[in-house]
Copies of this chain bind each other. A is one copy, B any other.
Amino acid sequence: MLIFELSRPGRGSFHQAPAPVPEPQLPPALLRALPPLLPEVSELDAVRHYTRLSQKNFSIDTQFYPLGSCTMKYNPRACNQLAMLPGFLAAHPAAPEAAIQGLLACLYDLQEILKEVTGMAAVSLTPMAGAQGEFAGVAMIRAYHDSRGDAERTEIIVPDAAHGTNPATAAMCGYATREVSTDREGNVDLAALRSAVGPKTAGLMLTNPSTLGVFEPSIEAIRDIVHGAGGLLYYDGANLNAILGKVRPGDMGFDVIHVNLHKTFSTPHGGGGPGAGPVGVSARLAEFLPVPVVAKEEGGYRWLTELERPRSIGRLSAHGGNVGVLLRAYVYARMLGREGMARVADYATLNANYLMAELARAGFELAFPRRRASHEFIVSLKNLKETTGIGAMDVAKRLLDKGFHAPTTYFPMLVSECLLIEPTETESKETLDAFVAAMREILEEAHTRPELVKNAPHTLPVRRLDDVKAARDLNLTWKPNPG
């Protein structure tokens, strides 16, 4: 049932709307003739409808969610409560700085914390998600080369295992993407990299640990190759959770980094956002950071904008980015504190390696059995698919029946029938053990009752959905009287 189907003309109560006023003076020709299709429902209808809908979701608050590359860890409720204090919610983005010193103090402190944990010289908080952070980062790489009159550099190198946002970002910044391959152990193929770099190389975008769930051990060699060719190094910080407090991108030699606060700093995913993707840079790129950034001066905190930062790559959002998300991340960072930061990586990695070991024992094939897992690892169901016809998608759907969200499937594309599994540090051994037990059952079912797995899920609000039909018979909005 859609909210529109609950609607009845004349049902709205309007106690959420202001009392009618004398009509403002507006030219009739510019006014709307027909009302928009918004439902007319009672407040109870709406509350009941959306409460019931919410119950149809899986979420961290209700299920284990081992989605590789997404870092679905517990979102502390304090972060939500404190970011939603009336004093923060009421702050207008164009309010004079004098009126919002407390808010600015939080943002400034967060900048400092991110500088410290990434090892970068300067940070801007404005990008509104990882991909926008990438955009800012690559735009800064471009601004750097431009500033040196180096206009030849037209290529961004990305490993073939990279997240789709990396090449898409390169394209948005006007670069061609050049892929380098991965070797059998999941590392960047150094020979391929050496032959890829050259005077056209603007930079390399690297995720480390990579999206294959392994740490790139030749990171120093890679850095030297890229820097040697005059390129810059971009760190896709989506996987920072794996190394928080253990090793810093700045120390590895990266020039630019973005951090997904909705991953490592545990701001909620919200069913698809909002996130935040602050960028950090080495000193030579600091002047190019997107504006605004927060400065601390004698008289207090203030925004630095285009006026003070003429070489900035500019502005990525109308205001200061996803401030409410930044406040959540700040609260989280303060609760973790000095000691807590490194524990994140310790236990995220412990959980991943334990789960990897247990799934291997349960008979699952690892993509990189000789490697240490980082915070995530890959199981390949290639052989299972060949012997039983049951692939990654089937196992994923069957897991839903057993009360677990599915791992990431079919990414990275490099490993066929892959499950990218990231348990995160906030899950307990009991939960991991229960997940292993469910995976064992499914393996058993794949051999004994394959139809059960192929037709999963069976216990959710809907059975498997027809994606092909969705794309073919596009139905993107509800229409009254479809008949």
Binding site for B on A (CB under 8 A): 6, 8, 11, 15, 42-45, 47-48, 51-52, 55, 60-63, 74, 76-77, 85-86, 335, 426-428, 430
A and B contact pairs by CB, cutoff 8 A, 24 listed: A6-B430, A8-B430, A11-B428, A15-B335, A42-B74, A42-B426, A43-B74, A43-B76, A44-B60, A44-B426, A44-B427, A45-B428, A47-B61, A47-B74, A47-B77, A48-B61, A48-B62, A48-B63, A51-B61, A51-B62, A55-B55, A55-B62, A85-B86, A86-B86
Instruction: Please measure, in the bound complex, the distance between the C-alpha atom of A62 and the C-alpha atom of B52, giving whole angstroms.
Output: 6
Could you say which of A11, A43, A44 has the most chain B C-beta atoms within 10 Å of its C-beta?
Answer: A44
The oligomer's copy count stands at: 2
Q: In this complex, what residue of B is CB-closest to A340? A: B15
Contacting residues, chain B, for A47 (C-beta < 8 A): 61, 74, 77
Instruction: Please measure, in the bound complex, the distance between the C-alpha atom of A14 and the C-alpha atom of B112, giving whole angstroms.
Output: 26
Contacting residues, chain B, for A427 (C-beta < 8 A): 44
Contacting residues, chain B, for A44 (C-beta < 8 A): 60, 74, 426-427
Instruction: Please measure, in the bound complex, the distance between the C-alpha atom of A428 and the C-alpha atom of B60, giving whole angstroms.
Output: 34
A434 to B: closest C-beta gap in Å: 11
Instruction: Please measure, in the bound complex, the distance between the C-alpha atom of A85 and the C-alpha atom of B427, giving whole angstroms.
Output: 33
Contacting residues, chain B, for A426 (C-beta < 8 A): 42, 44
Contacting residues, chain B, for A42 (C-beta < 8 A): 74, 426, 428
Contacting residues, chain B, for A51 (C-beta < 8 A): 61-62
Contacting residues, chain B, for A85 (C-beta < 8 A): 86
Instruction: Please measure, in the bound complex, the distance between the C-alpha atom of A77 and the C-alpha atom of B42, giving whole angstroms.
Output: 13
Instruction: Please measure, in the bound complex, the distance between the C-alpha atom of A55 and the C-alpha atom of B6, giving whole angstroms.
Output: 23
* A-B pairs with lowest CB-CB distance, top 9: A44-B74, A51-B61, A44-B426, A47-B61, A51-B62, A52-B62, A55-B55, A48-B61, A15-B335
Instruction: Please measure, in the bound complex, the distance between the C-alpha atom of A77 and the C-alpha atom of B47, giving whole angstroms.
Output: 9
Contacting residues, chain B, for A6 (C-beta < 8 A): 430
Q: In this complex, what residue of B is CB-closest to A424? A: B44
A13 to B: closest C-beta gap in Å: 10
Contacting residues, chain B, for A8 (C-beta < 8 A): 428, 430
